Amino acid sequence: MKRFRNLLLEVFLVALALGFLLPVIVMLYNGFKPYSEIMSNLLAFPRKATMDNFVGVWRDMNVPALFLNNLVITAIGVVGIIVFSSMAGYKLSRTRTRYSWALFLFFILPMLIPFQTIMITVLKLAKTLGLSNSVLGLGFQYWGFGVPLAVFIYHGFVKTIPRELDEAAYIDGVTEFQGFTRVIFPLMAPMTVTIMVIDVMWIWNDYLLPLVMVNSNKSTRTLTLAVYSYFGQYVSNYGYAIAALVIAVAPSILFFLVLQRWIVKGVVAGAVKG
- Report pLDDT digits (tens) over 18-27: 888 888 888 8
Q: What pTM value is reported for the model?
A: 0.85
Query: Among 64-73, 173-182, 255-264, which is the least confidently predicted range?
Result: 255-264
Percentage of the chain with pLDDT > 70?
93
The pLDDT score that the predictor gives to residue 156 is 87
Per-residue confidence band for 152, with pLDDT thresholds at 50, 70 and 90: very high
Average pLDDT over residues 87-93: 91
Domain at 61-271: CATH code: 1.10.3720.10
- Could you tell me the pLDDT band of residue 261, with boundaries at 50, 70 and 90? confident
Q: Quote the pLDDT of residue 68.
A: 94
Angle at 140 between CA 139 and CA 144, to 5 degrees: 115
**Predicted local distance difference test score (pLDDT) of residue 274:** 44
